[in-house]
Structure formats: C-alpha cells, structure tokens
Amino acid sequence: MADSPYVARRRVRLAIRRARETKGATQSEVAEAMEWSLSKVMRIESGEVTISQNDLRPLLAYLGVKERAKVESLVASAKLSKQRVQWWETPQYRELLTPSIVQLMGFEVAAQVTRYFCSMVVPGRLQTPAYARAIMETFAGELTEEAVEARVRMRELRREQFLSPTEHQDIFVVLDESVLHRQVGGADVLREQLEHLLDLIGAQRIALRIVPFKVQSLIPMFATYEIHNFADGGEILYRESDTLDEIVEDPEKLRRHREIFERVWIGAYDETSSAGLLKDHADALR
C-alpha cells in the first residue's frame, strides 16, 4: 500500500522529537531558537499540523540532523504530508471532531494490518449507519446535535471507504460476547449489524473472534482500542473512553496492548465458531 500523508507526517514528527530529545532541548527552547510559538512546536510534534519544508530544514540544522540523505528523506516526507486535504480535514468535519479522530482516519486508510479490540460495541469503522446513529445519540447530552451528525456521517464515510474494492487490509476483530446481546438501537438494528459482520466475514474482509463469558477475566473491563501497523514498520494505538480519545505511540504501551490482544485472541472462540454465534444471534432477532 502506498505511503500516505499521515504516515509521512508521523515519520517527520517522530524524527523531530527524537532529535530534540537527543539534543536535550525542551520544546520551549526549540520555540525560542526558531522564533516560533510554543504551541506551534507542540502541534508539530503531536501531529496536529504539518511542517513546511522551509521550516523543516533550519529546524533539523538546529537539532543537529545534518546527514544529507536523512535531511532530504525527511523533506520529501514533509512535502508528501502536505498533499491534498482529505474529506475528514475539511472544516465541516475537522471543527467538530477531536484531533485524535482526525489523525486516526488518516492512519487507518494507510494501515496494512489493523486489530480492533472492543468489549462493549462493534468498532466504529464496521458499524452500520443505524447502529452508529444509535450509539452517537447516547452522547446527545455531551455533544452538540451538529457534532453528533458529523460523527454519524463520518462513520458512514469510513465504512464506505473500508468497503471499497481497492482496500486490501488485514483486519482482526475481537468482540466480547456481550456485544451480541446488547441491543443497541433495538433488535432490528442489532440484527442488521450482526448480518453485516457476517457479510464481511464471508467476503474475507475481516477475521473475527468472540470472547465467551466463561473467560471474561481475559478482557480488561470496558477497554476499547485499535492498533494500526504500516508498511514502513510504524505502529500506532488509538484508545477511547466515552468522549475522550488519544493516539498513543509509546513503545511499551504498544507492546502491552499487543500482548493483551494476542492473549484474548487465543482464548476466544475460533473464527468458525464465532461466525456461528453471530448467525445464531442474528436469526434469533428475526
């Protein structure tokens, strides 16, 4: 899969952060030396904004990155990171979404392998429109009506993008068995959602396993996260709880979440048994 602007941006900002830490400089010191605001440095390192080629070259020189091949590689990545605005970056969405969700959508379309770990509901990218709306409407007291509508539409567009015949990612999904019983939006909505998952399994778009109640101790309660791996060896973790979310790149946290996923995957029903459970529950809701 071709490199994406978000993966390129990630490569640049991680290189900047590593170089700053190697130099022993703080973000405030970088801001002062470059005559930038502290918020600009923080936003560049967090991935919220891109850095121009004209800003990158003097910054790398200040940070001690002088090897020509490395500098040119990072400048090329910075150029790629600024290519065309995606739909989720337009004001109608960006202003109503968290910075982490905006970054996530760039990462998920570039990932080669994705692991979804959900103990409460079906992961957002795999949700049917009715299921997504039922979930988003539970946040009506915390999010504005406009924000709810933007997130519902966002999930529809993410699903459409995922279902594109040009997409070829390895998707692994772990669901707690309770998800099959939780009638989000009512019986008909849940049935449609389960049947959609069965269609994805039948088309070999996802590999899905269900964690039975009897091994509930394997599930860190209420945990929801996803791990995305890229062609360049990079990896990110996205975690969310209620309306709070974050992108995590700490190697130790990534390792721990990978281990949790693998442990639960091994302890869950296999794919055939899991598909059978999905079908049984869908049929029972008719």
CA-based R_g, the chain, Å: 21
Which CATH code fits 5-81? 1.10.260.40
148 Cβ contact list (under 8 Å, min separation 6): 136, 137, 139, 140
HSE-up (13 A, CA, CB side) for residue 269:
18
Q: How far apart are CA 5 and CA 10, in angstroms?
A: 9
> CA-CA-CA-CA torsion for 214, 120, 228, 55, nearest 10 degrees?
-150
Query: Are the C-beta atoms of 183 and 146 separated by less than 8 Å?
Result: no
Neighbouring CB atoms inside 10 A of 199's CB total 12
The residue extents of the domains of the chain are: 5-81, 87-284
Instruction: With CA atoms as reference, report the closest residue to 54 among 33, 27, 34, 24.
Output: 34
- Read off the amino acid at residue 30: V
pLDDT score at 195: 97
220 Cβ contact list (under 8 Å, min separation 6): 119, 260
pLDDT in tens, the chain (286 residues): 446 777 888 889 889 999 999 999 999 999 999 999 999 999 999 877 889 989 999 999 999 999 999 999 999 888 887 776 778 888 888 888 888 888 888 888 889 999 999 888 999 999 999 999 999 888 878 888 888 888 888 888 888 888 887 767 899 999 999 999 999 999 999 999 999 999 999 999 999 999 998 765 556 655 689 999 998 888 999 998 766 889 998 999 999 999 989 999 998 999 999 999 999 999 999 8
181 Cβ contact list (under 8 Å, min separation 6): 281
Q: Tell me the pLDDT tens digit for each residue of 64-114.
A: 999 999 999 999 888 887 776 778 888 888 888 888 888 888 888 889 999
Q: What is the pTM of this model?
A: 0.80
Q: Please, what sign has the CA dihedral across residues 103, 245, 95, 132?
A: positive
| Look-up of token digits 């915390």 | 142
Tell me the fold of 87-284. Answer: Endonuclease; Chain A (3.30.870)
Buried b (16+ CB within 10 A) or exposed e, 216-249: eebbeeebbbbbbbbeeebbbbbbbeeeebebbe
Instruction: With CA atoms as reference, report the closest residue to 33 among 2, 74, 64, 78.
Output: 64
